[in-house]
Amino acid sequence: MKIDLAGKVALVTASTAGIGFAIAKGLAESGAEVILNGRSEQSVNAAIARLQNEVPGAKARPAIADLSDADGAAQLLRAVTGVDILVNNAGIYGPQHFYATDDATWDNYWQTNVMSGVRLSRGLLPAMVSKGWGRVVFISSESARNIPADMIHYGVTKTAQLSLARGLAKYVAGSGVTVNSVLPGPTISDGFAEMLKDDVAKTGQSLEELAKAFVMTHRPSSVIQRAASVAEVANMVVYVCSPQASATSGAAWWMIFSESPLCRGAPSPAAFPGAKKRKMFKNSRKVAQSEQEHVFPELMIFVLSISCGVNVSVTKLAFLFRRGGRGRPRGTLPVGGYSGVWQRHPGGVAHRSGPGERAGRYRAGSSAAGAEICPLAL
């Protein structure tokens, strides 16, 4: 697979360093003209010079704006034209005690992390829809689903991005424009390096060693057992922006590289005796529609391994959908006309009980053909 974005114009917000710059570089390597955004002329010009040095012949132009308020977003929209790809990467983060997080801090995070994407999408989507082609990507975070206790304000904004992306995907459905989210896990970015700077000086260990220790402490189920690089995150984003990803919209691409805490302990398809996956989902949708309930394969979380933006292999798929409804409490799942309750037990073993009970046991994390399909109540 060769990704070719020649003739496309990509705007990457907050792209003077870190993940944003890596994404801009990846898009430029694929042939796109890149608009680099930052808050100061100096940082943007330095980023353009670096990009053109690392990617000879790269087409780049500046867009200086602070996206933490409406005026900054309006300034950026006036400065850019012909955008085919919008990557909403602008965001702020930082730990803070919940009781000490005042309204001003909450509002600052909301304006920067959420409303910047709202404003830019509202301004740029109409032209994409008119052309019949476009890509909008929100750089969310695994904190959107695994909310950190010391960064609740940050996690809330990242969860909001998932709703925004999914809603926009529905809004422009069938137009040729796709809208998706990418949820990086721990990544060795400039911000991450700054956070561990004192520890590097104190311990004498390398940043990579400390990042690995961080992952093993805070994400012990990681299947790569290290932090990702900004280039690995960028490879995912470049693919989502490519023509090859035209059939994917409204998805959340989770790059935590570990067993999802949402799926741990959830049943595999083998847990449903006699129920084929296709029939299960079909009947779930049928029951939901009859109850005016919104069932969705809304959040498809793919953990992918991408090599140089070329070879893509799906290593884990978590399929989540909402259920419940009139006369059926949350936590119940209709399968082939059957509505039962999944109950967890120690040791990762569960059994099903409910109307027309047929006992079923499963081992947590069991899978079929390498894919975990985890129906959960959201």
Q: How far apart are CA 32 and CA 299, in angstroms?
A: 29
Q: 53 CB contacts (<8 Å, ≥6 apart)?
A: none
Q: How crowded is residue 64: how many other Cβ atoms within 10 Å of its Cβ?
A: 18
| pLDDT number for residue 233 | 92
Residues 205, 200: Cα–Cα separation, whole Å: 6
Over residues 92-113, the pLDDT tens digits come to 988 999 999 999 999 999 999 9
User: Which amino acid is located at 24 in the chain?
Assistant: A
pLDDT tens-digit series, residues 21-39? 999 999 999 999 999 999 9
Strands 33-38 and 60-64: parallel
For this structure, is 109 an active site residue? no
Torsion angle, alpha carbons of 124, 173, 175, 23, to 10: 50
Q: What is residue 367's predicted lDDT score, i.e. its pLDDT? A: 29
Annotate 206-261 with DSSP letters as a single string. Answer: -HHHHHHHHHHHH-TTBSS-SPEEHHHHHHHHHHHHSGGGTT--S-EEEE--B--T
- From 93, 99, 109, 154, the catalytic residue: 154
> Which of the 8 DSSP states describes residue 268?
P
**Residue 231, CB-side half-sphere exposure with 13 Å CA sphere:** 4
d(CA 91, CA 68): 9
User: Global pTM?
Assistant: 0.69
Residues of the chain where predicted confidence (pLDDT) is lower than 70:
255-378
Q: What domains are there in the chain, each with its CATH number?
A: 9-185+227-255 (3.40.50.720), 269-296+321-363 (no CATH)
pLDDT score, position 228: 82
Task: Give the pLDDT of residue 364.
Answer: 33
The counts of H helices and E strands in the chain are 11, 15
Residue count (the chain): 378
